[in-house]
Amino acid sequence: MREVVLVLAFAGAALLGYKLISEVPSLLHTPLMSGMNALSGITVVGAITTTGLAVATGSKLAGFLAVVLAMINVVGGFLVTDRMLRMFKSERGRSS
């Protein structure tokens, strides 16, 4: 029964993620990157939740890997956004 819940949670997260990403026009991708990275936090919450429900060792390892990869995505996205925003600061703002 838990395996079914885990598979359904994974499928739901995959479909939701695809839907969210496909709705963003390419011209708006860069300005909305920070917001999309915040939404990627939902993936982290889902991965933590499903890992907590996992019983088998293999499922726990897969869940741990999902949490690690999702956090890399979130942190990396915010680092890229920060770098992009620093490009638009004035020369006075860059010296500090």
Q: What is the pLDDT of residues 72-96, one digit of tens each?
A: 988 888 887 788 778 777 666 555 5
Q: Which residue positions in the chain have pLDDT lower than 70?
A: 26-31, 34, 90-96
- The answer to pTM > 0.85 is no
Instruction: Judge whether 47 and 63 are in contact, CB under 8 Å.
Output: yes
For residue 40, which of 16, 4, 8, 7 has the smallest C-alpha distance?
16
Beta strands in 7-80 (DSSP E): none
**Rounded to the nearest 10 degrees, what angle do helices 33-53 and 57-87 cross at?**
170
For residue 71, which of 32, 51, 43, 31 has the smallest C-alpha distance?
43
C-alpha to C-alpha distances, 41 to 19, 64, 92, 96, nearest whole angstrom = 16, 15, 33, 30
pLDDT at position 82 is: 80
